[in-house]
Each structure stands twice: as C-alpha cells, then as structure tokens.
Structure 1
Amino acid sequence: MTSTLQVDPSNAEQASTWDGKEGGYWAEHADQFDLALRGYRTPFLAAAGIAAGDQVLDIGCGTGETTRDAARRASRGRALGVDLSDAMLRVARQRAAAEGLHNAAFVHADAQVHPFPAAAFDVAVSRTGTMFFADPVAAFRNICGALRPGGRLVQLVWQPPAGNEWFLSFTNALAAGRPLPAPAPDAPGPFSLADPERVRAVLGAAGFTGIQFEPHSEAMWFGEDADGAHRFTLGLLGWMLDGLDDEGQRRAVDNLRATITAHGVLYASATWTIMATRS
C-alpha cells in the first residue's frame, strides 16, 4: 500500500487487499472484469442519467470503465474516479488518456474519509464498488456531503447469493466439501448491501432520502471457453484454497473445472440499482 493513501483505520484490511495482490489481479484482467459485467452497463448508465454539464463522482472506480462512460456523457463537466487500488488506477489513467478524455481524473483514496470538496458533485455513481466499507454509514455520509443538495447517488450492488449462480457455483466447488462460515451481515463483502432494509437504514442515517431499488438480472461471462474461465475464476478465488492440504486443493481445483465444463461460461446474476437523493 502506498504511503500517501489516507485510510480510515477500520478500512485497513480492505486497503491492504485492494491495494495489494487482489487489486493487481483486477488491474491485470481489466477487460475480463468489464466484460463480465457488460450486461449491466446500459441500464446502469440510464439510471445514472448523467447530463452534459454534470460533475460526477465514481466510487470504487477500479480500472475506470464507468468513470470513462461518465466523462463521455458529462462532456461539459467532469468525472472523478476514486479507488483504493493504485494498480487499477494506473490502468484507469492510461485508458482515459488513450481515449482523450481530459475531463476524467482519478484519485487514490478511501472514500470513507477522503476530504472531498463540499457540495461539489451532481451525481455519485458506483458499479459494485460500495459494498466494502467497514463503516458504511460514515462512508455514505462522506459521499453525501460531496453532493450538492438534491444530488443523486446511483449504485449497482449484488442481490443476495441465492440469485447469483456464479457465486454459489464457484464457491461451492472450491469449498471442496468444507462448510463455509457465513459472513456477518454487516461485514464488508460483495453482499453487504444486498438487504434493502439494511440499505435503507444505512443511507437514511447518512443523509439520503428517496431511496429506490430497481432489480436487474443478466448473464455474466467468465471467458471464451471453459479453460479460460477456469483460469480466470481460479485467479479470482484462489484464496479459498488456503487451509486445504494438497489433496483438498486438487479436489477443489478439479471441482471448479468440472462445474465450468458442465455449465459453460455464462452464469446467472442479480443486482440492485439503488437510487437515492441528498436531502
């Protein structure tokens, strides 16, 4: 992790993860991650409703596809992407520069504590980037303060695991017969904002009103073929092999290959597009 990154102490573990090996993997496979979520791109941008003069904040921007999309729409405004991963931000900057998007900028920052200028943005967006805050009320309150009164928050998050075949299939395979402990419902993770009631409580406490949920389902694409999908998914979830002996690791890897070979490279997924307004 770089020495210049100001991180809330409660987010130290997340910063270590995303500004380390995991963020590096996402940076190396930027195209694959963007393609996996491609089905959500058009409806999410439609929900964001970015106008030509808007000032846009992209939370957890990763390698910057959504920031670049926002910058193209906010042609007389600007788009600022923030993320914990320096490696992903390097990719984001390179791609924005290659496209000549001079109104796109990126900051290496923890959105939970970063000193955003007050009331500077018309809309804040996030494509699967808001589920990892250790203190989500504090994080969303900070984001709320960066929005002008009446400014909008539009975020894409996962619905519960039952609607996400990709997650259940891959994790069950790599569990190799082990019972996997369920994370605490308020712990940072991909499903921390899956419960609408919890989200309403969090966003309400942070200063948002008019909270709405729009369900959406799309197939996620994990590779050109089974071998490619296996390599990509094993790189993404290989941490699940920790604690297994050699035989257990072989069984888990074989399980993953078997489920992808039998199923194919498209898996069902389900998200919420959550829209809210700064009061």
Structure 2
Amino acid sequence: MELEVEKIRDQQKETWNKFSPGWKKWDELTMDFLKPMGDGIIKLLDLKKHDIVLDVAAGSGEPGLTIASRLTEGKVISSDLSEGMLEIAAENAKKRGIINFETKVCDVCELPFLDNTFDAISCRFGFMFFPDMLLAIKEMTRVLKPGGKIATAVWNIPEKNFWVTAIMSTINKNIELPTPPPGAPGMFRCSKAGFMSDLFSQAGLKNISENEITGKLNCKTTDVYWDLMNDVAAPVVAALSKADDEIKDKIKTEVYSLVNQKYPNNSVIIDCSALVIYGEK
C-alpha cells in the first residue's frame, strides 16, 4: 500500500476512534437520520434468509444490524477501521439480541476474506472516506460471490444537504481553511451524478443503477443541531479547533441565525439527499 494511502487510512482510524463516544451519545438520532438510506440499500440487495453479508464501514452497526435481524439462517460480518465504532455496534447487537452478527476490524482496501465469500455487501456512507475508492470497490467485488449484489449510499450535492453546508459554509466564511488536495476524503467527494456508477463499472460490476433517496435530520432545536455537529462531525471540530473563542462565538451566532431563519419555531427538521448505487458481480 502506498505511503499516502496508509497515512490517510491511519488518520481515518484515529479520527473515528476519537469520535466514537460522540456517535454513541447520538446513536438514536443519527440512526433515525440515516435509516432511509439503509432501507434503500436493503431493498436493493433483496436478501435471502441464508445469505452471508458483509457490511463495510459499518460504524455503530447499521444497516448491518437490521440485515442480520432478517437473516434467519444467514449472518452479517460488520467491518470498520475503528475498534471504537465496532464496539458500539457489538453493544447494539447485544441490546437487540442479535446473535448472527460479527465484527471485524479491517481496511476495505485489504479485506481479510477469501474470494467469492459473500452473497451481498452493503456500505452506507463509507466511500467518501476511502483513500483509494477504486481499490476499495475492487476488493469488495473480489470477495463477492458470482451473482452477488452490492449497494452503497453516498451524499448527494451540497445544495441538497443544508445540514452540512449550514455549519461548514459559515466556518469557511470566518476561517481560512487549507484547500484539500483533489480526491481527498470529504463529504461530497462522490456526489457527482454517475461518479459511483463509473467506479462500479471499472470494478467489473454489471446491472448498475443509481437513484436518489431523501431523509430528514430531526434535531427539533438549533441547540441540538449545534451540539450534534460538534460531537460527530470531524471536519467541524477540526476547523473550530483553529479558531479563538471570539471567532467560535461569531460562527455559532451565525449558524444559529442561518438555521433559525430556514427552520423557525424549534422545528429544525432538515432535509438531506443521498445517492444509492447498486451493482452485481
């Protein structure tokens, strides 16, 4: 693995381990937020009760946990770079009494599984973080059985995701952040129409489809929105760490004003949009 790819991978691992307590704290709200995309993935995979499924970049467990609950004779292996996130996933499985669910700490670019192992693969909001997205989809395709299915969700364009842009555009207006290199991990790295379909095609997948799915981030209050983004959004925390207290307060005031203007009366229920991409081996 190239040095730069290794560096990005190690940074991702460190970041997600650091932020895992925040994701645990907000698990109920964030899982409700991301559920439509997980449901969209599950519908496309059209799973059979005995299927063996790999959930890549699984985080705190979804959609793998929901998949496992439906596989009466199959199982899910839930993989992620972060031990901290997978500990939450294992706890969530235990709480729900789901026993056909395993966790595996590993890198998507070096999956520790034999060729043709899985009937299906799910990956909800993982691709934007992968250092080498083509290598990642090729690895997933390698471990997929012939005829197997893969579905992933990525964020749609910024204009359709105010829940991110409200805070990040305000930060960018107040703090001079370095421009990330082309192709660096980021929220909207996969948002261009056809981008993911092309990656799937390069990996040799067929019967590829790409569709939009919408959801809502139901914070209710601006306080909840602000606290959530400061607990789970690594780019927000990283950017604000570079600001002094005066600038932070200014950013917070401006974000509150922007959000309250669009969603007044404590009804901060923000629309979001994702693309769900499907392919077969």
Asked whether the two chains share a fold, i.e. TM above 0.5, the reply is: yes
Of residues 272, 276, 279, the one that matches 1:276 is 279
Cα distance between partner residues in 2 of 1:151 and 1:40: 20
Of residues 115, 118, 122, the one that matches 1:118 is 115
Task: Please give the per-residue CA displacement for 1:213-252, whole angstroms capped at 9, x wherever unaligned.
Answer: 011222222x242222221123332322132233211101
Which runs of no fewer than 5 residues in structure 1 stay unpaired? 1-6
Q: In structure 2, give the amino acid aligned to 1:58.
A: D
Tell me the residue number matched to 1:165. Answer: 162
Which runs of no fewer than 5 residues in structure 2 stay unpaired? none
Q: Report the CA distance shift for 1:274/1:182 in structure 2 as closer, same or farther (over 3 A).
A: farther
Tell me the residue number matched to 1:265. Answer: 268
Cα distance between partner residues in 2 of 1:203 and 1:78: 25
Of residues 90, 95, 111, the one that matches 1:93 is 90
SS in 2 for 1:107: strand
Q: Report the CA distance shift for 1:85/1:29 in structure 2 as closer, same or farther (over 3 A).
A: farther
Report the CA distance between 1:57 and its aligned residue: 0.6
SS in 2 for 1:53: coil
**TM-score normalized with structure 1 length:** 0.88
Task: Please give the per-residue CA displacement for 1:88-122, whole angstroms capped at 9, x wherever unaligned.
Answer: 11111112122221111111111111221221111
SS in 2 for 1:272: strand
SS in 2 for 1:119: coil
Cα distance between partner residues in 1 of 2:158 and 2:178: 14
Report the CA distance between 1:42 and its aligned residue: 3.2
Cα distance between partner residues in 1 of 2:125 and 2:253: 29
Identity %: 24
Tell me the residue number matched to 2:137. Answer: 140
Tell me the residue number matched to 1:230. Answer: 226
Task: Please give the per-residue CA displacement for 1:27-86, whole angstroms capped at 9, x wherever unaligned.
Answer: 332222112223434333212212211111101111113111111122111111101121
Cα distance between partner residues in 2 of 1:200 and 1:39: 20
Cα distance between partner residues in 2 of 1:50 and 1:155: 15
SS in 1 for 2:186: coil
Q: Report the CA distance shift for 1:224/1:165 in structure 2 as closer, same or farther (over 3 A).
A: closer
Tell me the residue number matched to 1:37. Answer: 34
Q: In structure 2, give the amino acid aligned to 1:266.
A: I
Deviates more, 1:70-79 or 1:203-212: 203-212
SS in 2 for 1:196: coil
Cα distance between partner residues in 1 of 2:132 and 2:57: 15
- Indicate yes or no: 2:204 matched with 1:201: no
Q: Report the CA distance shift for 1:8/1:175 in structure 2 as closer, same or farther (over 3 A).
A: closer
Report the CA distance between 1:158 and its aligned residue: 0.8
Q: In structure 2, give the amino acid aligned to 1:145.
A: R
**TM-score normalized with structure 2 length:** 0.87
Q: In structure 1, give the amino acid aligned to 2:114.
A: P
Deviates more, 1:52-61 or 1:93-102: 93-102
Cα distance between partner residues in 2 of 1:240 and 1:8: 23
Q: In structure 2, give the amino acid aligned to 1:12.
A: D
Q: Report the CA distance shift for 1:261/1:238 in structure 2 as closer, same or farther (over 3 A).
A: farther
Task: Please give the per-residue CA displacement for 1:190-225, whole angstroms capped at 9, x wherever unaligned.
Answer: 22221233323322222322221011222222x242
Tell me the residue number matched to 2:238. Answer: 239
Contact 2:197–2:277 (CA under 8 A) maintained in structure 1: no
Report the CA distance between 1:181 and its aligned residue: 5.7
SS in 2 for 1:11: helix
Cα distance between partner residues in 1 of 2:175 and 2:39: 39
Aligned residues: 270
Give the aligned CA root-mean-square deviation in angstroms.
2.1
Deviates more, 1:30-39 or 1:135-144: 30-39
